[in-house]
Structure 1
Amino acid sequence: MGKLIYGAPTWSVEFEDRALAHLRIVMIAKLRRAESFSFSWKFDAAYGSGRSSLWLHPAIPLQFEFYGGREPALNRAWIEELMLTANSPGGLELVPEPGVADTGKTSPRP
Structure 2
Amino acid sequence: MAEKIFKDIMCPVCGGTCDDIEIVWDEENRKIEVRNACKMGAAKFNEIVSHHRIMSPLIADKEKAEKREAEWDEALTKAAEILANAKRPLLFMGAETSCEAMTVGLHMGEYLGGIVDSNSTI
Normalised-by-shorter TM-score class: under 0.3
Scaled by the length of structure 2, the TM-score of the pair is: 0.20
Question: Higher helix fraction: Structure 1 or Structure 2?
Answer: 2
Say which structure, 1 or 2, has more relative contact order (CA 8 Å, 6+ apart): 1
Q: Name the larger-Rg structure.
A: 2
